[in-house]
Amino acid sequence: MQDDRQPILSVRNLKTSFFTDEGIVRAVDGASFDVHLGQTLGIVGESGCGKSVTALSILGIVPRPGRIVEGEILLRREPEDGQAHEIALTSLGDSSREMRSIRGAEIALVFQEPMTSLSPVHTIGNQIIGAARLHRNLTRREAGELAVELLSLVGIPRAEAAIDAYPFQLSGGLRQRALIALALSCEPRILIADEPTTALDVTTQAQILDLLRSLQEQNGMAIMLITHDMGVIAEMADQVVVMYLGRVVEEGPVETVFGESKHPYTQSLLRSIPSIHSTPKVQLPTITGTIPHPYNRPAGCPFHPRCPDVIPGVCDKHEPELHSVGDEHLVSCFLYHPVPETIS
């Protein structure tokens, strides 16, 4: 199962914008990263930084007035003849037959709020049966057996009875499990989980994260885990992408990003989190200011108005790009790469 070092999904310089009456919101503004089978890629950042829009872009379901304006999303396939090839999802129409068959079947999505992604008027069982039969050649009976199997796999007690339950009859934790079962019904190779545990309590969160980990061990799927919680990332991810205002500011193996973070934003963010190991009642180091409004993006480095290390005349004029600063470790900051030689 474990693939070679070839990524199953590559996102290259993705830019997705919303063209609203008030102006253009550059929700994702040049994001690049790779997703590998058997691994978990964590995407982390504060609210509004573009995590969810990145997920929607990959699935080709960006709502109007938004659209992908630049970049490539490549899905790698290995057909029977062993000859791997890449297909550019960005060149398929969002509602094309091929894109529809990829969505759900090869790439599945689990959302933060399972209540809105599960249909309230169908039983859990029927939703799984419907999804499984849409993408796989199964009889109703086989799909029914699969539904029971999946529901018990995700740890729903008395699965035979649970297939007849409606979503509102389940607790938040069980609904999230049901949604994961639904996502797994087509055996996706990539599971995108957008804040899958944010609405849950810590002990339930621990159950769901444990579930995702063991499912990945069993079926070797790639997980793209989106969260604002640095703790969840540290717990789950192999590779980490840190986003700020639509851009990737730092990227690398989880130990590197947490242990030797280089970008001033990552560093400040990590310092500002209270920990159960921290000393009580001392002032936390904070990041000055607030995240700018998306219509008023700062010029140059998007973090420069809040950056403690800002280089005046440079950071407010030029846009830094991702550069390698070590083994698989990328940072987008002028402290680590030369300033473009342009006369302004």
Partner 1 sequence: MENEQVLLEVKGLRKFFPIRKGFWQRAVGHVRAVDGIDFHVYKGETFGIVGESGCGKTTASRCIVRALQPTAGEIHFRVNDGEMTDVANLSRDELQPLRRHMQMIFQDPFSSLNPRMTLFDIIGEPLLVNGVADRRQRIERVEELLALVGLRPEFLQRFPHAFSGGQRQRIGIARALALNPSLIVADEPVSALDVSVQAQILNLLLELQERLGLTYLFVAHDLSVVKHICDRVAVMYVGRVVETAQTQQLFESPKHPYTEALLSAVPQPDPTLRSQRIILEGEVADPANPPSGCYFHPRCRYAVDLCREQTPELEEVEPGHAVSCHRALELDLAGTLDAPIPQTAHS
Instruction: Determine which helix (DSSP H) or strand (DSSP E) holds 19, and give its type and residue range.
Output: strand 9-19
Q: Order of strands across the sheet with 40-44?
A: 107-110, 190-194, 222-227, 40-44, 239-244, 247-253, 329-331, 323-326
Residue 90, interface with Mg ion (CB under 5 A)? Answer: no
Q: Is 335 in the site for ligand SF4 (CB under 6 A)?
A: yes
H or E segment and range at residue 35: strand 24-35
Based on the shown chain and the rule CB under 6 A, indicate whether residue 18 belongs to the binding site for ligand ATP: yes
Whole-angstrom distance, CA of residue 235 vs CA of residue 224 = 14
Residues 334 and 321: their CA atoms lie apart, in Å, by 8
Look at residue 204 and give the partner it binds from partner 1, ligand ATP, Mg ion, none, a contact being a CB closer than 5 to 8 Å depending on partner kind. partner 1
**Rounded Cα gap, residues 284 and 272, in angstroms:** 6
d(CA 285, CA 60): 39
d(Cα 328, Cα 7) in Å, to the nearest integer? 14
Q: Does 320 interact with ligand SF4 (rule: CB under 6 A)? A: yes
Applying CB under 6 A, does 294 fall inside the site for ligand ATP? yes
Interface with ligand SF4 includes 303 (CB under 6 A)? Answer: yes
Q: Which is nearer to partner 1, 229 or 321 (CB)?
A: 229
Applying CB under 6 A, which part among 3-11, 50-58, 146-154, 263-271 lies near ligand ATP?
A: 50-58
Residue 49 within binding range of ligand ATP, rule CB under 6 A: yes
> Of 52, 57, 256, 261, which lies in the binding site for Mg ion, with binding defined by CB under 5 A?
52
Do residues 146 and 132 touch, judged by C-beta distance below 8 A?
yes
Distance of CA 223 to the CA centre of its chain: 8
Determine if 51 is a binding residue for ligand ATP (CB under 6 A).
yes
Contact window for ligand SF4 (CB under 6 A) among 7-15, 53-61, 70-78, 298-306:
298-306
206 binds, among partner 1, ligand SF4, ligand ATP, none (CB under 5 to 8 A by kind): partner 1
| Whole-Å CA distances, 329 to 51, 91, 308, 336 | 20, 29, 22, 12
Report what 18 binds from Mg ion, partner 1, ligand ATP, none; CB cut-off 5-8 Å by kind: ligand ATP
Six-digit token string for 194: 């957008």
* DSSP code of residue 67: E
Q: Does 269 bind partner 1 (CB under 8 A)?
A: yes
Binding mask 3-42 for partner 1 (x = CB under 8 A): ----------------------------------------
Q: Which of 77, 140, 158, 271 binds partner 1 (CB under 8 A)?
A: 271
Among 64, 79, 120, 284, binds partner 1 (CB under 8 A): 284
CB nearer to ligand ATP: pick between 19 and 84: 19
